[in-house]
Amino acid sequence: MESLPTNDQLTWRQKAIIVTCGLVVVLSVISLWYLDFYYYAYGSRVPLATEGRIYLKWVHHGTRVYLTQQEYLPFQVLPTLCGVFTLLGAYLTLRWKRSL
């Protein structure tokens, strides 16, 4: 028969969840920076409809590049992911501090 987790174990789990939320946010921001510099260096400056590079994206201080739908997707998903995990981490932190 398993015993119920103690307060120390719950605290450890809570800290692990908060750290994980923070890591997701940091990795999202780093990924966006990397993609910004990558497409600045290697992105097509003109639309190429035959390759599917029709999605306009402004990168690196106003440089205009055209991306495929697959290349453009992270620029839509990562900021949302970053916002969701920031709010989740903040909400859980406040909730758990109030329950102490």
Q: Tokens 């174990």 correspond to what residue?
A: 9
3 pLDDT above the threshold of 70: no
> Is residue 28 assigned to a domain?
yes
> Is residue 6 assigned to a domain?
no
Q: CA–CA distance from 71 to each of 35, 53, 76 (Å)?
A: 9, 9, 10
* Model pLDDT, residue 97: 83
User: How many folded domains does the chain comprise?
Assistant: 1
Structure tokens at 10: 């719950």
* Model pLDDT, residue 98: 82
> Is residue 62 assigned to a domain?
yes
What is the domain range of residue 31?
13-98
- If one counts every other C-beta atom within 10 angstroms of the C-beta of residue 85, the result is 19
| Chain segment 7-37, per-residue pLDDT in tens | 665 688 999 999 999 999 999 999 999 999 9
* Model pLDDT, residue 1: 56
> Is residue 7 assigned to a domain?
no
